[in-house]
Structure 1
Amino acid sequence: MRNISDIIEQYLKRMLQDSGEGAVEIQRNDLADQFSCVPSQINYVISTRFTLEKGYLVESKRGGGGYIRIRRLELPAQAILHTHIHESIGQHMSQTAAEGLVYQLLEARVISNREAELMRAAVCRDVISIKLPYRDEIRARMMKAMLIALLRP
């Protein structure tokens, strides 16, 4: 059985998919009422599952007419993907950033579930058991190499 966070996440993703613009505006309290949960549960889902690393931009306006806007950021086209990889990864990459990029590629169906699992395993801090900043440098190089190999036409 899925928990309430998973249900809310899937609901929001479906709303994003159904919107022609790739963005939705929600009222936190209205959504909490709809799912019979506390508003902080909505905050939790948005702050942990709709992050920039996972390919989402979240904006909020507080106050009486406030809203939360979630926008899906699209990955660039295949032709410029290599440039995007080098620019977005850079010379260092944390495990959180690597996992976020893998998540974004998986959501965009650029890579398969199996490829995502292999990538996550390869860049895990337990596997690259050397001190920082060298670990983040190696992780960045590994991510670049894996993505370039996977995304070859």
Structure 2
Amino acid sequence: MRNISDLIEQYLKHMLDDSAGGAVEIQRNDLADKFSCVPSQINYVISTRFTLEKGYMVESKRGGGGYIRIQRVDLPALNSIQLHFEQTIGDCVDQSAAEGIIYQLEEARLVTRREANLLRAAVHRETIALKLPQRDEIRARLLKSMLISLLVK
């Protein structure tokens, strides 16, 4: 059985898919009531599963009429993907950011689940058994090289 965080995530993603502009505004308390959970559970899901690295921009307004706005951030066109990776990944990237980029590509269906799993395995800290900062530098080079090979036709 799926946990409450998975259900909330899928619900929000479904709302995003159905939205015209790729953005939704939600009331945290209303969503917590819908899922019979505490509002902090909603915060947890949004802060861990709707990050910029995973392709989402989150904005919140506190107060009586407050809301949380989640917007999907689209990847650039494939013809500029190499420049995008150069800017996004840079000369070094930590494991969390690398996994976020891979997640975003998988969500956008630019890589298959199998390809995403291979990418994750290749950039994992246990695979690149070096000390920092060399590990993050090698991870960045590997990730950029593999993504360009996969995505640039």
- Give TM class, smaller chain: over 0.9
Matched, 1:131 2:131: yes
The equivalent residue for 1:89 is 89
Distance (whole Å) between structure 2 residues aligned to residue 107 and residue 152 of structure 1: 18
The equivalent residue for 1:79 is 79
Distance (whole Å) between structure 1 residues aligned to residue 65 and residue 151 of structure 2: 44
Matched pairs, number = 153
The equivalent residue for 1:50 is 50
Q: Which runs of 4+ in 1 moved over 4 A?
A: none
Deviation of 1:30 after TM superposition, in Å, equals 0.4
Q: Which amino acid aligns with 1:32?
A: A
> Between the two proteins, what is the percent identity of the paired residues?
70
Deviation of 1:83 after TM superposition, in Å, equals 1.1
Distance (whole Å) between structure 1 residues aligned to residue 105 and residue 54 of structure 2: 9
RMSD: 0.6
Matches within 5 A, 1:110-121: 110-121=110-121
Distance (whole Å) between structure 2 residues aligned to residue 85 and residue 43 of structure 1: 29
Name stretches of at least 5 consecutive residues in structure 1 with no aligned partner: none
SS of 1:36 mapped into structure 2:
coil
Matches within 5 A, 1:51-70: 51-70=51-70
Q: Which amino acid aligns with 1:76?
A: P
Deviation of 1:152 after TM superposition, in Å, equals 2.7
Q: Which amino acid aligns with 1:72?
A: R
SS of 2:79 mapped into structure 1:
helix
The equivalent residue for 1:30 is 30
Q: Does the aligned pair in 1 maintain the 2:27–2:66 contact within 8 Å?
A: yes
